Amino acid sequence: MIYCADCGSRMGFISPEARQSGKHYDSDSAFQCGNYRNQNNECVSHFIKTSALEAAILQAIKAVSQYVIENEAEFISQLKTVWNESKSKSANNGQQEIDEAKKRMAELDAKIQKLYDSAISGLLPERQAQRMIQQYDEEQLMLEKRVEELQGQIQEEEVEKIDTNRFIALVNKYRNCEELTDTICRFYFINYQGGLLNENEPEGNENPVYLWLSEP
């Protein structure tokens, strides 16, 4: 994803095939701010050629690769920290959903028991009570299934380990890349909103590139 530096809007791709004339220029393929000429959220015409963007990305990839290779131990420590924080957050969110589901299941148990008591005492017609009990029972079954799924995911995440050796091997493989490919993009996942920042990026650069390292 590519975002405008000023308004934060997603930048749209301008295809060279959109030109009606027979002549084609390097600037035909580009990205432009999505809020340009937008009546509700107008922004200036931020524009970057695809070739310039790819060159900036390749430069950033090489800089990050060099940093990783020259500071391998430090990078692995950073990568493990990011990985563990991500897994911990995911597990916490899963456990929170499990707790909420179990709380709801207990509430449904109480409702079902109350319906049985009302049917037995004659306060509620048995047919109506059975229909409501069936609805609550179906909800309980769905919640039980979801709890099992979440518990399984948490157990898998607890044993899952990050393969730092694979990361380093892939960095070495792509460190001298001269052409941006889909495979390289899947490895160096580009994200202008966060990730492993290229700390060697020179000050005043108008097109900073931030990179996540992820498995292809």
Residue 115's pLDDT is 92
Question: Tens-digit pLDDT profile for the chain (216 aa)?
Answer: 677 777 777 888 877 765 566 666 667 788 878 777 666 666 766 678 888 888 888 888 788 888 888 888 888 888 778 777 877 888 888 899 999 999 999 999 999 999 999 988 888 898 898 999 999 999 999 999 999 999 888 887 765 666 677 778 878 887 777 887 777 777 765 332 333 433 344 343 344 444 443 333
pLDDT at 192: 29
Q: Write down the pLDDT at residue 209.
A: 41
Q: What ranges in 2-71 are assigned the alpha helix state H? A: 50-70
Q: What is the CA radius of gyration of the chain?
A: 27
Give Cβ neighbours of residue 96 (< 8 Å, ≥ 6 apart). Answer: none
Q: Which of 159, 143, 137 is nearest to 91 (CA)?
A: 159
| 38-77 pLDDT tens trace | 666 667 666 788 888 888 888 887 888 888 888 888 888 8
Q: How far apart are CA 208 and CA 210, in angstroms?
A: 7
The mean pLDDT of the chain is 76
Give, in order, the Cα–Cα distances in Å from 162 to each of 74, 79, 176, 179, 216.
15, 9, 24, 28, 14
Report pLDDT digits (tens) over 181-192.
777 777 765 332
